[in-house]
Every structure is written in C-alpha cells, then in structure tokens.
Structure 1
C-alpha cells in the first residue's frame, strides 16, 4: 500500500466527522460556555480528592482571613484559617451529588406515577393528579425546614427530601406523552403482539418521551441546587464538618465586610452553575423539540 492509499479516509467517516464539526460550529457561545463550565464542575466533583490542596478541616490560624492570591492560599482563607479553595472544591462535589441524586429520584418517581396514571386511568389517574396538584401548591421550602428540624439533617435524608421536589412535573409530562403514545399505532401494535405493559412502557414509550424528560431534568437540576443552598444557608442542610456551596455562603455572610471572598466564591459558583444548566437546557429543548425543526 502506498502513502497515497493510507491517506484515503472512507466517505462514511468523513461524513460523521463533518457533521460533528458542523454541529459544534452551530453551538452558540453562551451554550458552549455553559457546556464547558458544567464539564469543569463534573471533573472537579469526580477528582476533588486529588484537586484539593488541603483538607477541608485543616486550620492555619496564622493565616486566618488571608486575602485571595496570597501564597499558598489562592482564594484566601476563612475565619479559622481553612483554605477557601479546598472547601470550595469539596462543596462543588457535595452540592452536585445532592442535586444529581435528588433529580434522578424526582424523575424516576414522577415518571412512574405518570405512566401508572396513563395505564390505569380512572381512580388511579385521578389520585395521581390530585397528589400532583397538592405537591405544586405545597410550600416546599417550609415543609423541608419542618422535616429537617424535626428529624435532624443528614445526607440521605436531604437527598431523599430534595428528591420529592418537582416530581409532579415529570408525572404530568409522562402521563400526557404516554396517553398520546398509546393513541398511536406503534404502542397498540406492540400490545397486539403480546408484549407486557412493562415492556410497552419501558422499551417503546419511554425511549420516545425520554428527550422531553431529559429537558425537564435540566430545568429541575438548578432549582434543586438553589434549594439545597438555601437550606444549608439557613443551617438545616449540610452540617459541619462537611461543607456545601450553601453552607459556605451561610458561614461567610458574617464576614461579608471583612472577608467577602469567603461568601463570594461559592456564590459565584452557584450563579454560574445554575446559569449554565439553564442555558444548556434551553438549547436542548430547542434541539430536541420536533415542532421547532
């Protein structure tokens, strides 16, 4: 084989790479920034143990309230001399873990109830819709404060509690899309072939409605981050010695005039993360919505 032969690229691969490049060129700058920021947050969350320069409880009282940029504390220190950058990295991991776990619980729970309502109709559908209306009208923050104040705050309880936030959206979306799919030919034909209801919903209906549910998850995810931050800010979320973004903001508010970097660093991460998720979610909604193609 000659050198000229080795340089030949199959036309199918050329088409794939050209489509990928064309798709990337069409991504707006704001969406590209959001994707890059979220990728960085996920990377930090996975490799936090290797990225932290110090332990989150390691104190250096000689360097307490050190200014950002002072070596060796790039983002400064807090009132106990703890490195702000190390605590920020750990806070990103904890907050994203809570938000991700709660979003999955909310999506699975809501989608399951929506499918049950579409399958059985009648009294089951009415019960699910009543529960969804009750959930939508319930002041979730006040209920969360009451539950955490009564049972105490722990990571599993916090994730489980946040998991019940926004499930009514998934239930309504899954119910409507499942009813629409049942009225179409492909679902009815699968039933006539002898498929069980579980197979119909999991193998045929769910893949066809997954894009809409994924977009809904991108809208719920930042809300859960803000909810967790608010609970931690009020002292009923993540408890010391563990730290989260809201926890850091809550402790830093007392030093806002003397050491604003303690609160501003996690506040900026919260703002940019929620903004990035919203931008990417809106972009995915436009890309995945067939009515906009």
Structure 2
C-alpha cells in the first residue's frame, strides 16, 4: 500500500470510529441502563413481591440494612420490607410520570398545531389561555385543587397535564409557524389536500424531534413532582406505597433509621438521572441547533 493510499484510508476509519463513539456514548448507555433496569424491576414487582410490600412484622421493625437477607435494605417502623416497598412504590411514580407526560403531550400538541397553522383568531385565543396558565404558580394550583377535590392519583395526573400542556403547545406552535410556508407544505396545498392531512401528514412529523426531547425530560420532572406533592400530603393516597410517601413516612425517623428515607430517595435520584441522560443525548442528536458543547 502506498503512502498516499494509507493517508486516504486511515482518516476514513478514524471518522467511522468517531461516528460510532458519537452515537453510542457513555451518556446514552448509562442512562438507558439505569432507566431500563429500574423499569424492569418496577414492572416485575408483582412477581417479586406478591404482598406489595405491605407485610407487617413488628418483631423486625426498624431493622438496619444489610443485616438480614430477609430484609436486605432494612425495615420501617412497622417492620415492612424497604426493598419491597421501594420497588413496588416505583409503579406509582412511573405511572404518574408517563401518563401525565402523554396527556400533556397530546393536549399541547393539538393546541400548538391549531394555533400555528390557522393563526389569526385561534392563535390569539389559544395563546392567551396559555399565558393565563403560565401565570398560575404550580404549588398554588396544586394546593387549591387538592383542597377542593382531595388527594388522589387521577387528580395528580390531571393537575400535571393542566400545568404542562403549555410547554408542548408553544414548542409545536413555533415549529408549525416556521414550516407552514415551506415549499413542501405549499405543494401539498396546491394538490388540494385537506388541512388535517397537511397538518398530521406533513407538518407534525417534522416537529417530532423537539417534542420527544421535551417528553423524555418531563417524565423525569413529573416523577420528582409526584414525590414532592406526596411528601407534602398533596399527592396520592398515603395508604398506597410510593416513593414520596416513603420519604414522608421516614422524616420522623431520619435520625434513628436513615435508611427509610435514603433508599427511596436514591431510587428517585437514579430514575431521574437515567431519564435526564437519555434526554440530553436525544437533544444532541435530534436537535442539532441546540447541541451541547463537547
């Protein structure tokens, strides 16, 4: 092989290696590992712990972690297994995070598509509703809703949908405004395609990148919000195992039984960390204009 051929081939190999490292980064792999491993444990919690972490053993109350194989992460004030409650409680956090994000995604996307495509009266009306929503403090809205309707899983999900649809509406609207006058949309109109076909078949697919990024980050944010609301007594029923409820139960024992709060807090941290790492990776690869500096 001549020197000139070697100089041509080696850079190409280096480019392929860099490209592979770019798409399969540690950020993606570690985030996916955390998210998938915790998700599998939560989904299989019914098989792993048929009692749902509610079995009471007063003789083993406040047992320290790593002392007994039967209660490897210790027990709470009623002798309930911390490991079982952490894994079982993840179902509530994942359900709230995913369901509220999907609800806000659907509502906000529809509003953004209508406001951005039709503009005029509909744009002004819908965006003024969005401005009103943004002016309402979330914690004040949460206290008001929970005081009137009472705490509950469905109310928490509905509250998060109401408070977050604006993010998707504004994001989609800005994308639609930049796409509605593009050549491919004009060509679709010239062929006489109905508005619904143009909106959902041509405009919406070109706005999915930023939507997916925001959706991933919002799932993590909503898990934190649910835990915070439940900790304050504004979330799900205290009788239902959840990470926020475990934090609330353990605050009275933080000096004598630290493990009651630490392990559910660690589960929240790892879940949010994994989702945020995947969201950052998606942002770098689906939104080139917003790439983070490497």
In structure 2, C-alpha distance between the alignment counterparts of 1:22 and 1:121, rounded to whole Å: 41
Which deviations, in whole Å up to 9, do the C-alpha atoms of 1:178-233 show, x marking residues without a partner? Answer: 12111111112112222221121112211111111000112222221111111100
- Name the CA distance, whole Å, in 2 between partners of 1:227 and 1:28: 29
* DSSP 3-state at the match of 1:81: coil
CA distance, structure 2, for counterparts of residue 283 and residue 55 of structure 1? 35
Confirm whether residue 56 of structure 1 aligns to residue 21 of structure 2. no
Alignment of 1:210-289 (within 5 A): 210-289=208-287
Match of 1:14 in 2: none
User: In the TM superposition, what are the counterparts of 1:101-140 in structure 2 within 5 Å?
Assistant: 101-140=99-138
The C-alpha deviation readout for 1:164-191, integer Å capped at 9, x for no partner, is: 2321111111111112111111112112
* Alpha-carbon distance in 1 for matches of 2:180, 2:107: 21
Structural mapping, 1:1-293, within 5 Å: 23=20, 26-52=23-49, 54-69=51-66, 70-291=68-289
Alpha-carbon distance, 1:54 to partner: 4.2
Contact 1:64 1:81 in 2 (8 A): yes
Does structure 2 retain, via aligned residues, the 8 Å contact 1:117–1:175?
Answer: yes
Cα distance in structure 1, aligned partners of 2:134 and 2:218: 14
TM (norm. structure 1) is 0.88
Mapped partners of 2:189, 2:39: distance in 1: 41
Shift of 1:24: 6.4
Specify every segment of 5 or more residues in structure 2 that has no aligned partner in the other structure, as ranges.
1-15
**Structure 1 unmatched ranges of 5 or more:** 1-18
CA distance in 1, matches of 2:194, 2:39: 38
Q: CA RMSD in A?
A: 2.0
